Amino acid sequence: MARILVPIANGFEEIEAVSIIDICRRAGIEVVSAGVEDKILTGAHNIKIEMDKKITEVSSDDFDLIALPGGLPNAFTLASDENVQRLLKEFKKKNKKIGAICAAPYALHTADVLSENYTCYPSFEQKIRDSGYQNDKDVVSENNIITSKGPATATKFALEIVKALKGEDIYNSVKEGLLA
């Protein structure tokens, strides 16, 4: 069974985190959420969510993909946390898939794992780099790196993860079930 890791810190974007977890689980993917500061975290809009594990309890060897939700200060915490940064570099070195949405591509940038072409929350490219920024796309997938714009594109982003791990048939089945 495909497995994904979702590192999360306080100030995460709730729609993005829950969309990744929910949609991937609908596709039969095992999802493990890992809290950076603690196991119970508070989102950007004061919704509390309990994580499956702490970030210090996970290994890149156990997962096929790592997916980072956005939100602030979550994205900055993911960009500065030594465990998250180490995991991102390990995923890249092992040629595993990496995803980030909204402001979280910034964490990929700080780990030096972001693909040439990417998208993110508009204006956040100024913290990353203008070259390769794809403002006109909701989701950009290149060289095992999947990026997306923000809350309204969270379903598309999660479905792209499903397609990358489970293939076109499961992707279409889940998409149809979501009425997407």
pLDDT tens digit sequence for 93-141? 999 999 999 999 999 999 999 999 999 999 999 999 999 999 999 999 9
35 token code pair: 């809290």
d(CA 86, CA 21): 22
- Helices and strands, number each (H, E), in the chain: 7, 9
Is the pTM higher than 0.85? yes
Q: What is the pLDDT of residues 144-168, one digit of tens each?
A: 999 999 999 999 999 999 999 999 9
Residues forming the active site:
102
Write out 56-105 in H/E/C secondary structure: HHCCHHHCCEEEECCCCCHHHHHHHCHHHHHHHHHHHHCCCEEEEECCCH
Distance of CA 178 to the CA centre of its chain: 20
> Is residue 142 within 8 Å of residue 115, measured between CB atoms?
yes
